[in-house]
């Protein structure tokens, strides 16, 4: 049965966990955005000897489960605390997806834009920085946002390497107070309250960019 | 004519895509400051000539020279042997050439002014103020002084094309390539673009190479018109002469079809 008192007691604990979840998501997504862009650029414009192995490694990370990667990193990488390691693994995992998103964005920039750059003799670096990437990123803002939301919903996996994010905290509270129903319901509600408006915002953005 | 007075020389240039031959051993010379118009049916290779000059395509065979120096090729290790040009060789020389495209190809995420100052600042190394001042002059020349802060997408096709002309001129090219610059425009917008180009032709000594179906414009600005068909020059001559009394049957038929 629903115990209102237990739920009230669980609320601050769950919210504190939410803070950790949010920070982890923001940091990991920052890692994913920067690394994803680097991966996309190396595969598209880098030397062959680098592009090929990078493509292979990214494909490998993309096709193995995040959970396994977390455990593997936890065992194999010494000297990093759990939150840092969790953020890095999550960031690298998503970077491999975002690199594909960036690739689509780069391919969506018409050839005519590249030709205009050649006709103006713009140096390669400047072409990427000033002409191609601004247009490419704008074209993929909606999928980037969707990945941010889905990463947010995957951060509970960090609990397996003892990161005290929201679901971890809800679980601990549930076991000590025997109030799983209340603590997990609260955690679910917080996820919903955070994800849903974000998805709506992304859909609005998508509609606005469409014309 | 001594070679240094030649802005452009095509020496037996061939361009093939797969087994389709677009240009077939073309010889072409354009003097410094000369205005040459290329006419002919679509697919006859006119646009390919401009694209080869702008290095958007590479020649299959033959050599393109700029101002008497090899452009599409460069000296190889063995004496007297030319090898296909490196990106570096091309980059050092192609800034003498500017191009205006059929579809304008402006940068949609930049303002009109940013479009025009981009290359002078980042290629010629001009300061932002200097480039900005000159960009405003050029935008004034093309009649768009009041649109400096507008986004290209907010402008009409004719206005966008005039911005593209200003953007090309901002690089102070010696040679300007015009690739069917009015073909994508609504008929009522064609005149404003052509007027600007007539003005440019009158005020500067720039070498012009245009591909166009606007015979009135060709007559006004060109010193010489070349009639193309299937990758070869069918007939060439002074503008009025070629337009009023073409010798070749092929030219007569073509002129009849565009009038």
All structural domains of chain A with their residue ranges:
4-209
Contacts by A57-60, CB closer than 8 A, 24 or more apart: A58/A95, A58/A96, A58/A99, A59/A96
Q: Does residue B246 sit in helix, strand or coil?
A: coil
Tell me the two tokens of residue B238.
């002074």
Instruction: Measure B175 CA to nearest chain A CA, in Å.
Output: 12
Answer whether A80's CB lies under 8 Å from A88's CB.
yes
Residue B86 near chain A (CB below 8 Å): no
Tell me the two tokens of residue A169.
């905290």
Q: Are residues A123 and B123, on separate chains, in Cβ contact within 8 Å?
A: yes
Which uninterrupted H or E stretch holds B21? strand B20-31
- B225 pLDDT exceeds 90? yes
pLDDT computed for residue A160 by the predictor: 87
Q: Are residues A116 and B94, on separate chains, in Cβ contact within 8 Å?
A: no
Give the bridge partners for B82, in sequence order.
B75
User: pLDDT tens, A25-83?
Assistant: 999 999 999 999 999 999 999 999 999 999 999 999 999 999 999 999 999 988 889 99
- A1 pLDDT exceeds 90? no
Place of tokens 């396994």: A68
Q: Are residues A113 and B101, on separate chains, in Cβ contact within 8 Å?
A: no
- Give the count of Cβ contacts less than 8 A between chain A and B: 54
Which uninterrupted H or E stretch holds A151? helix A141-154
In angstroms, rounded to a whole number, what is the distance separating the alpha carbons of residues B173 and A121? 11
In angstroms, rounded to a whole number, what is the distance separating the alpha carbons of residues B156 and B161? 9
Tell me the CATH number of domain A4-209, given options 3.40.50.970, 3.40.47.10, 3.30.200.20, 1.10.3720.10.
1.10.3720.10
Q: Does residue B141 sit in helix, strand or coil?
A: helix
Q: Are residues A116 and B107, on separate chains, in Cβ contact within 8 Å?
A: yes
- B202 pLDDT exceeds 90? yes
Closest chain A CA to residue B101: A116
- B2 pLDDT exceeds 80? no
Residues of A with CB under 8 A from a CB of B: 112-113, 115-116, 118-123, 126, 130-131, 134-135, 138
Query: Longest C-alpha distance within chain A, in Å?
Result: 72
Residue B94 near chain A (CB below 8 Å): yes
Closest chain B CA to residue A137: B109
Instruction: For B197-215, give the secondary structure using H, E and C.
Output: HHHHHHHCCCEEEEECCCH
In angstroms, rounded to a whole number, what is the distance separating the alpha carbons of residues A159 and A165? 7
pLDDT computed for residue A88 by the predictor: 96
- A185 pLDDT exceeds 70? yes
Residue B154 near chain A (CB below 8 Å): no
pLDDT computed for residue B4 by the predictor: 66
**Do β-strands B6-17 and B61-66 pair in parallel, antiparallel, or remain unpaired?**
antiparallel
Of the pLDDT bands very low, low, confident and very high (cuts 50, 70, 90), residue B244 is very high
Q: Does residue A49 sit in helix, strand or coil?
A: helix
Residue B73 near chain A (CB below 8 Å): no
The backbone torsions φ and ψ at residue B233, rounded to the nearest 5 degrees and listed phi first, read: -80, 120
Q: List the single residue in B97, B103, B122 with the smallest CB-CB distance to A122.
A: B122
pTM, entire model: 0.89
Instruction: Measure B113 CA to nearest chain A CA, in Å.
Output: 14
Q: Are residues A123 and B94, on separate chains, in Cβ contact within 8 Å?
A: no
Q: List the single residue in A116, A126, A135 with the smallest CB-CB distance to B101.
A: A116
Which uninterrupted H or E stretch holds A48? helix A48-62
Answer whether B198's CB lies under 8 Å from B181's CB.
no
Q: Does residue A183 sit in helix, strand or coil?
A: helix
In angstroms, rounded to a whole number, what is the distance separating the alpha carbons of residues A95 and A39? 8
**Alpha-helical regions (H) of chain B:** 46-53, 87-94, 112-122, 128-141, 157-169, 187-203, 215-221, 239-244, 249-258
């Amino acid at each position: 049965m629903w115990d209102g008192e237990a739920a009230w007691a669980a609320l601050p604990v769950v919210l504190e966990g939410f803070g950790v979840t949010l920070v982890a998501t923001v940091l990991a997504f920052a890692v994913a955005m920067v690394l994803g862009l680097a991966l996309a650029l190396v595969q598209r414009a880098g030397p062959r000897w680098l592009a090929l192995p990078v493509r292979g490694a990214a494909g490998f990370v993309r096709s193995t489960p995040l959970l396994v990667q977390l455990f593997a990193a936890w065992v194999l990488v010494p000297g990093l605390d759990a939150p840092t390691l969790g953020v890095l693994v999550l960031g690298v995992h998503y970077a491999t997806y975002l690199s594909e998103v960036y690739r689509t964005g780069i391919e969506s920039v018409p050839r005519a834009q590249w030709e205009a750059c050649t006709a103006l003799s713009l140096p390669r670096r400047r072409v990427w920085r000033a002409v191609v990437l601004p247009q490419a990123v704008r074209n993929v803002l909606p999928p980037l946002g969707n990945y941010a939301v889905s990463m947010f919903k995957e951060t509970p996996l960090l609990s397996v390497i003892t990161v005290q994010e929201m679901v971890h905290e809800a679980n601990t509270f549930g076991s000590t107070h025997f109030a799983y129903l209340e603590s997990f319901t609260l955690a679910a509600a917080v996820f919903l309250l955070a994800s849903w408006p974000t998805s709506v915002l992304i859909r609005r953005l998508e509609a606005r960019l469409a014309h | 004519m001594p070679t240094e007075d030649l802005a452009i020389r095509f020496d037996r240039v061939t361009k093939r895509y797969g087994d389709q031959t677009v240009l077939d051993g073309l010889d072409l010379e354009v003097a410094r400051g000369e205005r040459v118009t290329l006419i002919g049916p679509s697919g006859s290779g006119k646009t390919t000539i401009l694209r080869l000059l702008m290095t958007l395509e590479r020649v299959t065979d033959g050599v393109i020279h700029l101002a008497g120096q090899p452009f599409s090729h460069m000296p190889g290790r063995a004496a007297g042997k030319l090898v296909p040009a490196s990106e570096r060789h091309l980059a050092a020389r192609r800034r003498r050439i500017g191009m205006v495209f059929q579809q304008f190809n402006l940068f949609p995420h930049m303002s009109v002014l940013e479009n025009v100052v981009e290359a002078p600042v980042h290629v010629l190394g001009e300061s932002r103020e200097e480039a900005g001042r000159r960009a405003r002059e050029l935008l004034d020349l093309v009649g768009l002084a009041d649109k400096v802060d507008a986004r290209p997408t907010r402008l009409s096709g004719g206005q966008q094309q005039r911005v593209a002309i200003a953007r090309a001129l901002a690089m102070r090219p010696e040679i300007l390539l015009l690739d069917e610059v009015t073909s994508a425009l609504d008929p009522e917008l064609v005149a404003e673009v052509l007027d600007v180009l007539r003005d440019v032709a009158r005020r500067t000594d720039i070498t012009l190479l245009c591909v166009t179906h606007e015979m009135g414009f060709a007559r006004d600005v060109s010193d010489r018109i070349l009639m193309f068909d299937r990758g070869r020059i069918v007939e060439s001559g002074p503008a009025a002469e070629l337009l009023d009394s073409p010798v070749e049957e092929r030219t007569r038929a073509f002129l009849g079809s565009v009038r």
